[in-house]
Amino acid sequence: MSLSVRPILSALMRNRTGAVLVAMQVAIALAVLVNALYIVVQRIEKMQRPLGIDVDNIFVVQASGFTDRYDQTSSMREDIDYLRSLPGVVAASPSNGIPLSGSGSATTLTAHPGVHSTDGFNYYEVDEQGLDALGVRLVAGRNFRHGDIEPSRAKNDASSFVSNVILSRATALRLFGQDDPLGKAVYDDLGQSATVVGIVDPVIGAWVGDRHPDWVMFMSRLPSGRYGAVRYLVRTRPGARDAAMQQAESHLSRSNPDRVITFVRTLNYFRDLSYLGDRSMGIYLLTVTLLMVAVTCLGIFALATFNVTTRTRQIGTRRAVGARRADIVQYFLVENGLITTAGVVGGCALALATGYWLSIQYELPRLNLYFLVGGVLLLWGIGQLAALQPARRAATVPPSVATRNV
């Protein structure tokens, strides 16, 4: 290399304010970029977690009875029969809750009676089409049969358990470890037991942000609707959902004057709602980070441009004493490289400190160092790109400016 770094560095040190300012920008941008990307990647991972549910083809109906004439059992029967008769519907089941919705019911559950536990498991009361209505995959045992399904709990029964349950694999692992859970009993906090007849995997419950969103249990019983509403989960063939929704809404809202249809919504609606925070966080982080990198680039570009304009005569002199165009380009790129390197070094420290703070905020593992390396390379590359145009322009300065007074 015809240019060594020392004289460039010493020239730089004599005009360091601008360089220091740009290096500071690079440092902050690196710290933010690396950590923002780290968070975004984790959010994306969270959002891309396998749900095990055929989300795109499911819609949910909520119905609330509100008069004394309302008979939930017959109303539910009629509604479900109607929903199943709709064209394109694959399966429909009543349910006490809606997966991915952010609200639902949970209960404690143990593998032995009388054992104390605080683990909460999200449960769904469904009939024999419950698994199909969600499209979850049975990986062991059997589905509920029509004869398994118990009637809704009576108004004055808040605590009886069921005979048969289907667990998510995560639930089974939590309760039984590596043992085969099929045929085993699970106990509620009153010591009542139910038999595990099947295992599904994967599946997700109501709370996507929970530490264990896949601790899920299905119970072979019609929901009680005791909090005023029952839900129907309806799954259709691909493409048939929207038409079925419309038909369901217009029919059900008129079929029974003693209850009201609160909503008919796609499951996508609930999923999007659950991930809204993550999605908007991701979008916001990326936008601001991009803006910040852009501003930093402009800073680098402006400093390089400024340096080129104020050094026209110097460039001409260098050309006059034999510098090739490539040497001039190289000079400015090396100078820029020195500034970005200084910024990047400071930025690494800043990024690690920020990562540490974030790991406390989010109780997350520390910043992955690959991100840091990637960020360093990226900013360094971007910095060189930003300086390239001014450097090229510098190379077009004719050598004769050395002799002409400008």
Question: Within positions 19 to 48, which residues make up the interface with other proteins, using CB under 8 A?
Answer: 21-22, 24-25, 28-29, 31-32, 36, 39
The stretch near other proteins (CB under 8 A) out of 46-54, 71-79, 141-149, 154-162 is: 154-162
How far is the C-alpha of 206 from the C-alpha of 122, rounded, in Å?
7
DSSP state of 122: E
Residues from 204 through 223 that contact other proteins (CB under 8 A): 207, 209-212
CB of 365 to other proteins, least distance (A): 15
Q: Under the criterion CB under 8 A, does residue 403 sit at the interface with other proteins?
A: yes
Q: What is the largest CA-CA distance in the chain?
A: 103
Q: Under the criterion CB under 8 A, does residue 18 sit at the interface with other proteins?
A: yes
* Minimum CB distance to other proteins smaller for 25 or for 220: 25
* Minimum CB distance to other proteins smaller for 178 or for 361: 361
| Selected binder of other proteins within 229, 240, 352, 388 (CB under 8 A) | 229
| Selected binder of other proteins within 91, 109, 391, 402 (CB under 8 A) | 402
How far is the C-alpha of 132 from the C-alpha of 54, rounded, in Å?
9
* Minimum CB distance to other proteins smaller for 218 or for 275: 275
| Selected binder of other proteins within 45, 48, 151, 404 (CB under 8 A) | 404
Q: Under the criterion CB under 8 A, does residue 185 sit at the interface with other proteins?
A: no
CB of 185 to other proteins, least distance (A): 16
| Selected binder of other proteins within 156, 177, 178, 183 (CB under 8 A) | 156
CB of 85 to other proteins, least distance (A): 25
Q: Under the criterion CB under 8 A, does residue 356 sit at the interface with other proteins?
A: no
The residue behind tokens 């919705």 is 101
Write out the DSSP string of 133-144.
HHTPPEEEE-PP
Residues from 54 through 93 that contact other proteins (CB under 8 A): 64-68
Q: Under the criterion CB under 8 A, does residue 120 sit at the interface with other proteins?
A: yes
CB of 82 to other proteins, least distance (A): 19
How far is the C-alpha of 285 from the C-alpha of 295, rounded, in Å?
15
The closest of 389, 400, 388, 387 to 315, measured between CA atoms, is 400
CB of 132 to other proteins, least distance (A): 27
Three-point CA angle 149, 150, 153, nearest 5°:
145
Q: Under the criterion CB under 8 A, does residue 353 sit at the interface with other proteins?
A: no
CB of 357 to other proteins, least distance (A): 8
CB of 213 to other proteins, least distance (A): 10
Q: Under the criterion CB under 8 A, does residue 358 sit at the interface with other proteins?
A: yes
Q: What is the 3-state secondary structure (H, E, C) of 2-13?
A: CCCHHHHHHHHH
Site string for other proteins, 264-303 (x = CB under 8 A): ---------x--xx--xx--xx--xx-xx--xx-xx--xx
User: Strands 58-65 and 259-266: what pairing?
Assistant: antiparallel
How far is the C-alpha of 172 from the C-alpha of 167, rounded, in Å?
6
The stretch near other proteins (CB under 8 A) out of 47-55, 126-134, 142-150, 153-161 is: 153-161
From the number of C-beta atoms within 10 Å of its C-beta (0-12, 13-18, 19+), residue 366 rates as exposed
CA neighbours within 13 Å on the CB side: how many for 31? 20
How far is the C-alpha of 35 from the C-alpha of 309, rounded, in Å?
36
Residues in the chain: 406
Decide: helix, strand or coil at residue 132: helix
Decide: helix, strand or coil at residue 221: strand
The stretch near other proteins (CB under 8 A) out of 16-24, 46-54, 198-206, 234-242 is: 16-24
Strands, sheet with 89-95, edge to edge from the N-terminal-most edge strand: 89-95, 230-236, 58-65, 259-266
Residues from 302 through 331 that contact other proteins (CB under 8 A): 302-303, 306, 309-310, 313-314, 316-327
* Minimum CB distance to other proteins smaller for 83 or for 350: 350
The stretch near other proteins (CB under 8 A) out of 75-83, 88-96, 196-204, 392-400 is: 392-400
The answer for residues whose C-beta is within 8 angstroms of residue 10's C-beta and 6 or more apart is: none
| 233 neighbors 216 (Cβ within 8 angstroms) | no
| Selected binder of other proteins within 246, 262, 370, 377 (CB under 8 A) | 262
Q: Under the criterion CB under 8 A, does residue 15 sit at the interface with other proteins?
A: yes
Count residues binding other proteins (CB under 8 A).
98
How many CB atoms sit inside 10 A of residue 398's CB? 12
How far is the C-alpha of 293 from the C-alpha of 32, rounded, in Å?
9
